[in-house]
């Protein structure tokens, strides 16, 4: 009764467009037009359009995605589950998976959370990541090819969950470490330990969003530091919002491995639709530099 009275006095609104929301017991944060889970283009094995299949491996083969970076692969996937870019220049991450492509509803929702002080969206993103990890009515598990498809499997595969830290300037401007919110909630729901300080940014650096492709990798060099006592001997998963070139995640993974981590995976809310072509450019540059050397 009190809930209905409060909804009448303070009508619930969408966290992105501020449009009126229909009152319900579930307390939705987003209207149907702004909800990425309903509207955004899914990545990897996450898809509300596909039925939950008993044989996830066969379904993954049908989708033809790279085992390492999760990008769409050519028809010879079953012969070689690793894309050309990952073969030529293997990433320091074992697996990289994302919920949606960074556009339209997903982009608007992330920007509302990241720049619009919509803190309550942290629960929304954490719940979507949880559903995608463990499978649900709307999602297939995005790590199914790595046999990570339920909570018990997640607990056996990862020891530690870390948010990818923003630069000092970005955190000051925003007023809070946005990925720490999501990581804390996801960690609690999965029963996997999290550390908000094991990986940190020791120096100020430019925001990646303002930089071009080559500048991102240069800017990400030595951008992170790790507390070896916390990460040594641990199997780690990094949590981030947007992957564009992969420069920040790559740099963080190298840092963690140098500090003694056993392995590093990455789970992001979204990725750029240009990530695949940018990875190929990285591989070509790597080949060119190896010949020069």
Tens of pLDDT, residue by residue over 160-177, are: 999 999 766 666 666 667
DSSP label at 149?
A: -
Q: Which of 139, 128, 96, 109 is nearest to 267 (CA)?
A: 96
| Of 138, 120, 119, residue with least CA distance to 47 | 138
pLDDT score, position 38 = 86
Which residue ranges of the chain lie beneath pLDDT 50?
A: 2, 48-57
CA distances from residue 262 to 140, 176, 246, 258 in whole angstroms, order as listed: 27, 30, 20, 10
pLDDT at 20: 86
Residue 57: partners with Cβ closer than 8 Å, 6 or more residues away: 144, 145
Cβ proximity of 92 and 67 under 8 Å: no
pLDDT at 185: 96
Q: How far is CA 55 from CA 62, 141, 148, in A?
A: 11, 12, 14
User: Which two three-digit tokens encode residue 175?
Assistant: 């007023």
pLDDT in tens, 78-124: 567 788 888 888 899 999 999 999 999 999 999 999 888 898 899 99
- Report pLDDT for 45: 54
Pairwise CA distance, residues 283 & 208, whole Å: 20
Mean pLDDT for all residues in the chain: 79
Is there a contact between 185 and 224 (Cβ–Cβ < 8 Å)? no
Buried b (16+ CB within 10 A) or exposed e, 174-205: eeeebbbbbbbbbbebbebebbbebbebeeeb
In the prediction, which pLDDT does 88 show? 85
């Amino acid at each position: 009764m009190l809930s209905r009275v409060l909804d009448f006095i303070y009508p619930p609104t969408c966290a992105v467009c501020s449009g009126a929301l229909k009152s319900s017991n579930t307390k939705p944060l987003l209207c149907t037009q702004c909800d990425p889970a309903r509207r955004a283009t899914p990545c990897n094995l996450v898809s509300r359009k596909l039925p939950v299949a008993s044989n996830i491996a066969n379904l993954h083969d049908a989708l033809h995605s790279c085992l390492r970076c999760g990008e769409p692969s050519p028809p010879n996937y079953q012969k070689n589950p690793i894309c050309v870019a990952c073969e030529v220049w293997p990433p320091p991450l074992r697996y990289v998976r994302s919920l949606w492509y960074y556009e339209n509803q997903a982009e608007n929702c992330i920007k509302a959370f990241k720049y619009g002080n919509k803190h309550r969206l942290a629960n929304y993103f954490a719940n979507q990541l949880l559903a995608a990890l463990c499978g649900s009515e709307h999602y297939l598990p995005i790590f199914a090819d790595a046999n990570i498809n339920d909570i018990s499997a997640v607990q056996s595969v990862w020891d530690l969950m870390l948010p990818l830290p923003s630069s000092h300037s970005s955190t000051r401007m925003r007023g809070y470490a946005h990925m720490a919110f999501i990581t804390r909630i996801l960690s609690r729901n999965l029963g996997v330990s999290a550390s908000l300080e094991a990986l940190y940014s020791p120096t100020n650096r430019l925001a990646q969003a303002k930089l071009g492709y080559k500048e991102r990798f240069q800017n990400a060099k030595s951008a992170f530091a790790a507390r070896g006592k916390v990460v040594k001997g641990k199997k780690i998963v990094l949590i981030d919002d947007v992957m564009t070139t992969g420069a920040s995640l790559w740099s963080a993974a190298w840092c963690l491995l140098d500090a003694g981590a056993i392995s590093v995976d990455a789970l992001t809310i979204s990725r750029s639709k240009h990530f695949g072509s940018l990875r190929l450019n990285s591989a070509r540059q790597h080949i060119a530099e190896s010949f020069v050397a």
